[in-house]
Chains A and B, each alone.
Chain A
Amino acid sequence: MGDVFSVILTSAALLFYVAGTVGLIRFPDTHSRLHALTKADNLGLGLLILGLMAQADGWVTLGKLLLTWVLALIAAGAAAQLVARTALGDRR
């Protein structure tokens, strides 16, 4: 049961990663690329982590996985903001 759950969720995660990567490559300018990347990848990571949680063997592992997602969210958000602002600065 847990394994099926994991497989479904991680496959869905991969789909989001592919979508994000396609967006990164195909979108015309920095801001829309960032949009594709952060939205799709954060969701992908969330699904991946959910899928992996089904495999966790204890509360500590669950906590670590959750923390991974939260930290990656914060880091991705901050990094995207910084890149976006630098891109704006470059255009001026």
Chain B
Amino acid sequence: MTLAFDLVLCAMIVGAAICAAVAGTIFAAAVFFIVYGIFVSLAWLRLDAFDVALAEAAMGAGLTGILLLRALGRMPASEDRPGPALAPALAGAGLALALGWAFLALPESAGLGPVVRNAAPGAGAENPVTAVLLAFRAWDTLLETIVLLAALLGVWALSRDEAWGLPPGLPQRVRPDGVLAGFGRILPPIGAVVGVYLVWAGTSRPGGAFQGGTVLAAVALLVSMAGLAQAPRVTSGALRLVLVAGPLVFLGMAFIGAVLSLWQPGAAFLALPEAHAKSLILGIELMLTLSIAVTLAALVAGPPEDRA
């Protein structure tokens, strides 16, 4: 029975992917891509990967979909003809076959699951995924938040010189009594609670800084699109402080560990003292969430623009 479900799910995923790849218009492709992302997050649920399902739905389908649709809205309808299909088709088919063969040829499970589950409680997070992200592989996570920052700096650098210093994205014109404004008033409180809950719950249950940050980013975007609050200018010191607060606290904690290591045997760069690991992880995650939320919202809004 569950096999039948998985087969149907996979067929739907593949179908949506094919539609997204070959749809006649780019708008249709983008919509199919969002549908595809939702189906893929269902597949993650089938694999008991709740953290990944949340991240895929929020970022892979949601934010990436918005990015594509927003860009489409700025584009004139243009003739869209792909190149010759034979070589790409051979490359795609060859790679898919090779990977399929490899999956079947893989040895029996070779993962780190048991090792992680043994070490996770000592690292300050009962959710093993959070333990991996913020303790064992904290260096990855730190670099990843910096990747977000690098992308935003790159996006902002693409503004025209005349628009530099304006708020991110296009200026919004919204009727104050319109539906969007009303919607924008109802949802943010709920969204904020959900976002913070995802972070708080993330140490022991699925959720975490990235999933919570995405929800908060959506709230920020909604508030801005509904015209309820003006986004700060890209040169604003306060905005920039919020953007870097997470990585800064993360790096700062790492540095403190490094300096302490000079006279304290257990301390090291990126090591959290075991007694306080849980509260420190939660603190770092909250700061990261704030920065991730604002960075993601700014990434989706795009570079500052002065014309429609």
Mark A residues whose CB is within 8 Å of B: 67, 71, 74-75, 78, 81-82, 85
Within the assembled complex, what's the spacing in Å between the Cα atoms of A56 and B186? 27
The answer to whether A78 touches B182, judged by C-beta atoms less than 8 angstroms apart, is: yes
Size band of the interface chain B makes with A:
under 10
Other CB < 8 Å A-B pairs besides A67-B190, A74-B186, 5 of them? A71-B190, A74-B183, A74-B187, A81-B179, A82-B180
Residues of B within 8 A of A67 (CB): 190
Residues of A within 8 A of B179 (CB): 78, 81-82, 85
- Identity of the chain A residue whose Cβ is nearest the Cβ of B179 in the assembled complex: A81
Rounded to whole Å, the gap between the CB of A56 and the closest CB of chain B is 17
Rounded to whole Å, the gap between the CB of A31 and the closest CB of chain B is 15
Interface of A is mostly: helix
Rounded to whole Å, the gap between the CB of A82 and the closest CB of chain B is 6
The answer to whether B180 touches A78, judged by C-beta atoms less than 8 angstroms apart, is: yes
Residues of B within 8 A of A78 (CB): 179-180, 182-183
Provide 8 A-B residue pairs closer than 8 Å at the C-beta atoms, listed in order of the A residue. Answer: A67-B190, A71-B190, A74-B186, A75-B183, A78-B182, A81-B179, A82-B179, A82-B180
7 nearest CB pairs, A to B: A78-B183, A81-B179, A78-B179, A74-B186, A82-B179, A82-B180, A74-B183
Within the assembled complex, what's the spacing in Å between the Cα atoms of A74 and B222? 14
Residues of A within 8 A of B186 (CB): 74
Within the assembled complex, what's the spacing in Å between the Cα atoms of A82 and B179? 7
Within the assembled complex, what's the spacing in Å between the Cα atoms of A92 and B186? 31
